[in-house]
A and B are shown apart, each in its own frame.
Chain A
Amino acid sequence: MFAFVAFAALMTPQAAAQEQPVEPYKIDPTNAGAAPFAGDGMARAFGGQDGISRIVDRFVTANFADRRIGEIFMNQDEVRLRRVLFEQFCYILNAGCTYTGRDMRAAHKDMGVQQGDMNRLVENLQAAMQAERVPFAAQNRFLAKLAPMRRDVVER
């Protein structure tokens, strides 16, 4: 029994992925910053959880490697980012997840993100969605959910 619990603990995302600790916060799916889509149309357009996972991986990798915005990501916890970003996308796309990350304001605090940086991020996301062959209209419908988050991301 003890061995089983220890094994289960090892399998939790935090233990398996070696995330850095963050300041305690209240877990609430509304931290995702947008209400999920209704129905399963968007989840299917994004290839379900498998497709979303590939999009997030490609997106995060591109951002860390980006000539322009890579340095903003350099000090971020890449392991945690991959997990919470997947959860956020999956939750908003109504693909069967909940979101356990921080709200957008807390997650982007003091990053010094400028408008052009956010646009580059959007372009990287568009490229990742394109690589997964998400139809362009569906890409835009998803971006429509993310666009209002700018006020919590970009520093004036």
Chain B
Amino acid sequence: MIVPLWTKVAVAAGALGIAAAADAQQIAEPGKLLLTNGIGTIEGASGGGLTPWAVIAGNATRDGIGVQASATAAELKDYDFQVAGVAIGALDRVELSYARQRFDTNWVGGALGLGNDYKFDQDVWGAKVKLAGDMVYGSEWMPSIAAGVYYKRSLDAPIVRAVGARKAEGTDLYVSATKLFLRWSLLANVTLRATNANQNGLLGFGGDKRNARTIHPEGSLAYQVSRRFVVGGEFRSKPDNLGIAREDDWFDAFAAYALNRNLTATVAFADLGSVATVEGQRGVLFQIQGSF
């Protein structure tokens, strides 16, 4: 008997449909506790603002798949910085992320001979895997532990080479440990990152002073004021590879508010130190994050 191809396809599709329906009953609806998925980092992964946490983006638990989107804008003394990021988190275990960063040099671009309002752009692709532990549950002293990678590509290769970077693309590797210490209402995160990125990669990777990756600690500490509201601070140490543009560690103080289960608004005061030869880059950062 010859079965028409379309019948086979229809039968196969029907079987798949049944299988999908059966699976759907096993997939729980999203249900993370408020704020326990963090916000969107400037590199697209979930975490604090500057540093990734050992959490998985989106509202899904170990029984589902969730997504996060974040839009971040920072107004610094002499620069503007914008990030749009998306991340998908599966089974509270694996996270894939993408972010586009745009760094507007305003008047500094002109002074550096790039032209006023010259913009550095960068793509950041990320992957993170939760290895062990849990941020909220389980042993009180056992944090969630995750390892991740960022692949970053500057879209301004000729310029970043001209300022002394060895490469326009690079890879960061990191491990993070994150715990919500309920007894103190304190969330703590520690991250170690191996990187040779200059200003997070916007000025390329490696330089005349050093080319190889070095390991840099980062940290976040936040106090949970209420179910919806946290205040805290962050720290991120960075390499200093370029002879012509000294680079400083980053700090911020932030407040994040969960408007509801799907929207979190964050405001931060950031101190990025010296950036592309201009000192004292302090300013305000806003972020709105959606997660589902």
Contacts and interface: CB of A to CB of B under 8 A. Distances in A.
A binds B: yes
17 contacts: A68-B29, A68-B31, A115-B61, A115-B62, A115-B63, A116-B31, A116-B32, A116-B64, A117-B31, A119-B32, A136-B185, A140-B224, A141-B183, A144-B181, A147-B140, A148-B139, A150-B138
A135 B181 CA distance: 16
A76 interface: no
Contacts of A68: 29, 31
Interface string B161-199: 000000000000000000001111100000000000000
A118 B33 CA distance: 10
Interface in B105-143: 134, 136-140
A140 B138 contact: no
Interface string B26-58: 001111110000000000000000000000000
A31 interface: no
B5 interface: no
A151 interface: yes
Contact of B138 (A141, A143, A147): A147
Interface string B224-255: 11110000000000000000000000000000
Contacts of B62: 115
Per DSSP, are chain B's interface residues mostly helix, strand or loop, or mixed? loop
A62 interface: no
A109 interface: no
B271 interface: no
B139 to A, nearest CB: 6
B92 interface: yes
Contact of B182 (A117, A118, A130, A143): A143
A116 B28 contact: yes
Interface string B196-237: 000000000000000000000000000011110000000000
A130 B34 CA distance: 15
Given A122-B33, A136-B224, A115 B28 contact: yes
Nearest to B137: A150
A14 interface: no
Given A119-B32, A120-B31, A122-B33, 8 more contacts: A115-B28, A116-B28, A116-B61, A137-B185, A140-B183, A147-B137, A148-B140, A151-B138
